[in-house]
Chain A
């Protein structure tokens, strides 16, 4: 019953966000929001740019690449030199080169995959440096999505916006205020926010002395969720009470994760002048999200097979790797929200989910993270799929396909196809490399099919810039650090750049008038077609791999590995 009410509240709050945050986002990127103009203008002067100075898609994309490259380099240097930098109350040493490379790439690609435990590896200085990327990378993702939206909205335009202006506006008008207000709520609920080091306490009742890890956790927590980043301060992420203390913060986490990706469909609808088109994309996201949630929540409400075999009956679902204050189904909801966006935060141990529960999480990522996907990346990836759907629809009725009045021709389909296929190809190739090399095979903690699932999950997660893990995999090896970093770079930029290119190509086109024969892209038929394209591309490419992992594990009744 509680779960049902949680879902109802989530849908209601997201509906409000969709309408109002969605139109606010459109206003921000149209340059109609000015309340922080006194910060914006000096910054533009410092950057030597101005909102009127727009860029071509090539300039825009190369700015993102250079900016991201420099961010990786500087983040890497901070981690490598951590021992010599301030704000290090635990006197932690420098981070090794492979791990620093993986972590720097991970945070700059919005992945937040962590091959380390934060509380025992990183100083406060390093954590804060990584947190900067938790602000910046979602803003980059949203900016890229806005370029694609402008592609549909503009006619015969040679420019798609100014990257520095879009980035600044997104940071100041969207991410900063929401994260800050949510941070205050999190602290009020019990999340920790201090620059003092760990505390030592002695309990006279049981004689236990504890050293309690602390840090500036709460405010990193909110931007971690809002920016669909996912990398927490502590190793156990949102499962730890210091990051996510109560049922309310858990709900807020889920809301923060979903609110921007969901609202961006409204933004899209408003900017292209057809809210119905925004609703169409939202419907695709909701159908995929609901299906995955149904599988995972049902699976997690079953007992854990090992616990059942040990003779313990459960009416509270699979409790292994879950926190009492959240419970089974709410943890499943959190997991699905986290893996269907590019978040990857966790309030439960995904490795200990039942086989079908883990299957749902994997599927959320393998569908390309479009339900609703990461901040910005969800919308632009879904638009790539929608272009493919339009193309297929056009082939079926034998007309030149159009989407929002823009003719979808060879260039557009090539770019969309490239963006849609890069992720499956990358993930499957690196997984094949990992399972066929000794360095890859030493990684998993678990044996049997679950061991394979751990490798598949790790490389799917990084290839989709998700960052969640089947945590048993020992990923802090040179092999996994380097292959994971390449996986993350391709998963981010080999989709983001084609998406921006698509935006640029579309922007330069004129709009053809609607006719009776125009294939409609704002009705239930198109929702079904786009959902079908997403499911077929994801299903056909990943089904064999899934069959070797969670599916065979589910079918192995009575066997333990």
Chain B
């Protein structure tokens, strides 16, 4: 018993040192040396391309409704968006999904409210991604179809020809990795940055 206890203590201390701190430090060192941009959160001038943001108005492409529509952050009511993880607009929360079940009355009502939200913005046929929330609560991406249904809205608000916007979407589309791992997606921040550049030129 005492032998076990002494050995256990030695082993726990040793493991904490090697597999905790040395491992984490060595990993951080290698990560910062080789991929410092990624290791620090892929943060550009307007934010991280890996963390969704709340886009309002009709002159930008919107991400998924993690922080919009019925999930819009409301500090006074203590609603932090779709459990948005970030201190976005002053509201604290954690990453996470709505966790509403497939036969939840709340989910049905929220989905209806989101459909109405998109109708008000001028998107006639919102896609499933646009009326459901993501797993992380800050999905930075939308599918090409999600972007295409927003083209009439953005075209009307910005004055760009729909064809030009569709070309922009095509340029920003990332195929599945290696051609088959995962799905095609568009990073919303990059798409809107490209849109801003287009505006700057015109």
Contacts and interface: CB of A to CB of B under 8 A. Distances in A.
A214 interface: yes
B9 interface: yes
Interface string B16-33: 100111011011101110
Interface string A320-360: 11111111001100000000000000111101111100000
B163 interface: no
Interface in A448-493: 448-450, 453, 470-472
Interface stretch (B87-95, B154-162, B164-172): B87-95
Interface centre among A183, A216, A236, A447, by most chain B C-beta atoms within 10 angstroms, is A236
A327 B16 CA distance: 37
B132 A214 contact: no
Contact of B48 (A63, A119, A212, A349): A212
B74 interface: no
A128 B28 contact: no
B42 to A, nearest CB: 5
Given A43-B14, A327-B182, A471-B96, A448 B111 contact: no
A309 B101 CA distance: 14
A384 to B, nearest CB: 25
A189 B19 contact: no
B46 interface: yes
Given A321-B134, A323-B135, A327-B183, A355 B102 contact: yes
Contacts of A212: 41, 43, 47-48, 51, 86
Interface residues of A, number: 124
Interface in B97-122: 97-105, 107-108, 111-112, 115
Contact of A312 (B41, B128, B141): B128
Interface stretch (A45-53, A146-154, A369-377): A45-53
Interface stretch (A24-32, A262-270, A300-308): A300-308
B27 to A, nearest CB: 4
Contact of B5 (A66, A471, A556): A66
Interface residues of B, number: 100
B50 interface: yes
Given A119-B85, A321-B133, A348-B135, A445 B100 contact: yes
A323 B139 contact: yes
A46 B28 contact: no
A132 B99 CA distance: 30
Contacts of B98: 320-321, 349, 352
Contact of A320 (B55, B87, B133): B133
A284 interface: no
Interface string A27-61: 00000000000000001001111000000000000
A1 B180 contact: yes
Interface string A179-220: 110011001111111111001011111101111111010111
A2 interface: yes
